Structure 1
Amino acid sequence: MAGIKALVGLSFTGALGLTFLLLGCALEQFGIYWPLFVLIFYIISPLPNFIATRCGEDSGSSSNACRELAHFLTTGIVISAFGLPIILARKSVIQWGACGLVMAGNSVIFLTILGFFLVFGGGDDFSWEQW
């Protein structure tokens, strides 16, 4: 039952983050949809961790080269997702208010992805591998 509550909570926060992103694009004073390109970063951000858990051997040590590379790539993807709206706002493609809403959406979505990995990423009996 705790897994279902966590899944519902993660779904709610994901919807809240996407709402911030869409408000940054669709409000009348902003009205430009360039910030939707951060959706690509939302999709590819968990991929290095998925690959690292499948390919890397679990030796039990605290450091694993495959896992460290996955964390490095994920960090680069997340920083790029936060950098894209800032660059668009500095070049006057989007307004700073839209940039703020997209940044709020980024924060919520990436915390939701992190929460998903923390809740369902363990090796216990209820994990994301069942989905």
Structure 2
Amino acid sequence: MAGGVRAVVALAFAGVVGLTLLVLGCALPSYGSWWPMFTIVFYVLSPLPLMIARHYQEDMTGTSACIELSLFLTTGIVVSAFALPTVLAHAGAIAAGAAVFANLASFTIFGTIVAWFYLHGEEESWGGSSSLF
């Protein structure tokens, strides 16, 4: 039980660090633009395809069209989260430092999401071995 509490605390801490990096990329006076905050939409959308595929998949041992489509959509969402600050910095809408902070935040948040799926994959009871990779 203590290992589960430590895992939840570590995931919460990693999420807070990621969001702090994102806010720093927006709120520091030298950057002063809140456009990178739109990457939060990608953070919310990224686990949805895999969660939906896990819900409707009876046997998670092999590959199926549902799993492959969910992995494709998740990959597109994750790439978009890294691309948005980069494109904004290239267009001159935000500073390059703000893009770096936003991409570091994306790296941290997506690492947290992957860790959550890894840690909670064995605990779910919706059939199969629930390992996606």
- Report if TM-score (shorter chain) is over 0.5: yes
Alignment RMSD (CA, Å): 1.3
Aligned to 1:64: 64
Aligned to 1:30: 31
Q: Is 2:18 the partner of 1:17?
A: yes
Aligned to 1:40: 41
How many percent of aligned residue pairs carry the same amino acid?
45
Distance in 2 of aligned mates of 1:124 and 1:2: 17
Per-residue Cα deviation, 1:10-29 (whole angstroms, up to 9, x for no partner): 00000000010000000000
Q: Is 2:109 the partner of 1:109?
A: yes
Per-residue Cα deviation, 1:36-72 (whole angstroms, up to 9, x for no partner): 00000000100001100111221632x1221111111
Q: How many residues align?
A: 124
Secondary structure at the residue paired with 2:67?
Answer: helix
Distance in 2 of aligned mates of 1:59 and 1:97: 41
Per the normalisation by structure 1, the TM-score is 0.90
Secondary structure at the residue paired with 2:122?
Answer: coil
Distance in 1 of aligned mates of 2:12 and 2:73: 25
Distance in 1 of aligned mates of 2:120 and 2:42: 21
| Alignment gaps of 5+ in structure 2 | 126-133
How far does residue 124 in structure 1 lie from its aligned partner after superposition?
6.2
How far does residue 95 in structure 1 lie from its aligned partner after superposition?
0.3
Q: Is 2:57 the partner of 1:52?
A: no
Per the normalisation by structure 2, the TM-score is 0.89
How far does residue 116 in structure 1 lie from its aligned partner after superposition?
0.3
Per-residue Cα deviation, 1:67-105 (whole angstroms, up to 9, x for no partner): 111111000000000000011000000000000000000
Instruction: Show structure 1 runs of 4+ deviating over 6 A.
Output: none
CA 1:22–1:59 in structure 2 vs 1: closer, same or farther (change >3 Å)?
closer
| Alignment gaps of 5+ in structure 1 | 126-131
